[in-house]
Amino acid sequence: MFLPSERIISDEFSGLAVALNSRASHIGIVYRDEAEEVVMLHLAFHHQLRRNELPHGYCWVNIAGIDERTKEIALAFLELVGLHSEVPYSFDMTGITFNRTTGRIQGGENGEGLTCASFIVAVLAEIGIDLIDLSDWPIDREVDLEFHRMVVEMLREMDANDHADRVSSQRNFKRMMPLEVGVAAGLPGHPHSHRDIAEIVSQAASEFATAA
């Protein structure tokens, strides 16, 4: 399902994809900009939205089922969003939107924000591409709670203590893992529920683990 970064220059690349690192622990959205350069837009961490070349060692998959007009709209909007680095990192994405004219994030005053995975879901949803159906998404998995604790510690290490306090208090959240969003993006017929993708995610996780 996922192709190595070296093949991004091939005809297989549609011009709009998602890419995961070798551990499937980070994800970004990959596109061809106006200069015909392949770039990756990704939320590295709190207030660290980055736009750079697709790193070596990443694997990617085209976003399925996107027509040319929608792709054009997406590429233009991603360029706008990439102008603003101040995207808060959080597990509660309630009320988070992006201004369609400026690309600037809206909301997040009370600890809301995005992860690298939910950033992709939120940005694409703004232009009518709904990747995920959260209705049956698991709540507070142990792996998610562990990641939540790690994020709070990292926020405190960068002296973002007020935001860390708000994130620390978040409960009953539905965290989308990078690999889950990657699989959902690559399958036609989205939005996808957790039930839709669980088996494929498990298979993909084994493949990433074997390759690592």
Query: Which phi and psi angles does 179 have, rounded to 5°?
Result: -65, -35
Average pLDDT of the residues in 62-87 = 96
Over residues 64-70, the mean pLDDT reads 95
Q: Is 17 helix (H, G, I), strand (E, B) or coil?
A: strand
> pLDDT at residue 103 above 80?
yes
Confidence label for 6 from pLDDT (cuts 50, 70 and 90): confident
Instruction: Say if residue 113 is exposed, middle or buried (CB neighbours under 10 Å; 0-12, 13-18, 19+).
Output: buried
